[in-house]
Amino acid sequence: MRMMHNFFRIGGVATDLPYGWIDKCSDFCDYFLTSIAEYQKLITRNPIFLERVEGVGVVDVKEVINWGLSGPMLRASGIQWDLRKVDNYECYEEFHWEVHVLWIQAF
């Protein structure tokens, strides 16, 4: 929401979509959807790409705590904690879900 603060307004949005936006979006989706398999192959099987990105941005539990990280960064380090589950603010108490974490194995 913080990225869209200039578009949304109380009671609706600030302006209509630009002329032709829906057609351009639809054209892009048609183009992109036919290429997803190719993009996935390039990313998941390309040794050069994998060598450049594997292990980049890994933050261990100690760093997460020291840096005061939260949300997805906290859970990605293996800490099973989510404020929505703990505090049950808004309407989260009406939902039944588990906190998912990514258990990282050190390289």
Mention every residue, 6+ apart, whose C-beta is less than 8 A from residue 60: 77, 104, 106
Q: Cβ(84)–Cβ(92) under 8 Å?
A: yes
Enter the tokens of residue 15: 């302006």
Q: Is this structure's pTM higher than 0.75?
A: no
User: Could you read off the pLDDT of 74-90 as tens digits, one per residue?
Assistant: 888 888 888 888 887 88
Identify the three-state secondary structure at position 78.
coil
Q: pLDDT means per 10 residues in the chain (107 residues)?
A: 60 80 95 90 87 84 91 86 84 85 58
Q: Cβ(75)–Cβ(56) under 8 Å?
A: no
